[in-house]
Amino acid sequence: MYGIVNKSIQEMVLHHYGENTWSNIKQNSGVENDFFVSSEPYDDEITYKLAVAIADETQKPVGDILQDLGNWWILKTASVKYGYLLSSGGTSLSEFLMSLPVFHNRVMMLYPKLTPPEFKTTLISEKELHLEYISRRKGLTNFLIGLIGGLSELYNTPVEIVMLSENDAPGTHQVFKITWN
């Protein structure tokens, strides 16, 4: 994944736990990079190793860490560094979610070597949509749930997310029901 993701992880840890904890996490993860360059692609393993090391250090399940990261990504990284991109997604949560299938096309203009997730959306009613998440990667479902949680906070619209189905794909293929008020 692009360095911006690992940088965002580092910033979240520094913010919540400080420099010493970050040093421990870096050391325990076995990741040797001293710093991350936002616009450079890194091996996905680095991101996974950091998430696992944070979970070990903070004694939280790795799923919770991924969810926190998704939240942090929207509210601190994307809102601050890519506000213009985020606002291009719509003026309400439902509008934003409906724009997800094309959202990373715009991100690819910034990061051409991106391996983006694929999304398909079906609007079921004014307060419900189905979101299909297809990825070449595994294990990032909680990251997605955290991202949607961050968007929910951003748009001040509480949501409920329920997984409807999961296919046995080489990566990930899941459908979620998302409802809001």
Name the minimum Å distance from CB 24 to ligand HEM.
25
Q: 29 or 71, CB closer to ligand HEM?
A: 71
Q: 46 or 144, CB closer to ligand HEM?
A: 144
Name the minimum Å distance from CB 58 to ligand HEM.
21
Question: Alpha-carbon dihedral of residues 98, 104, 109, 111, nearest 10 degrees?
Answer: 160
Which residues form the interface with ligand HEM (CB under 6 A)?
Answer: 1-2, 4-5, 41, 78, 82, 85-86, 100, 104, 107, 111, 114-115, 117, 135-137, 140, 143-144, 147-148
**Residue 22: which region, alpha, beta or left (left: phi > 0; alpha: psi -120 to 50)?**
alpha
Name the minimum Å distance from CB 3 to ligand HEM.
9
Name the minimum Å distance from CB 142 to ligand HEM.
10
Look up residue 103 and give its two tokens.
């959202």
Q: 59 or 156, CB closer to ligand HEM?
A: 156
DSSP assignment of 115-140: ---EEEEEEEETTEEEEEEEESSSS-
Q: 55 or 114, CB closer to ligand HEM?
A: 114
Name the minimum Å distance from CB 181 to ligand HEM.
19
From the list 144, 126, 139, 134, the residue with the least C-alpha distance to 175 is 134
Question: How far apart (Å, rounded) are the C-alpha atoms in residues 95 and 111?
Answer: 24
Question: Alpha-carbon dihedral of residues 44, 49, 50, 56, nearest 10 degrees?
Answer: 160
Q: 41 or 63, CB closer to ligand HEM?
A: 41
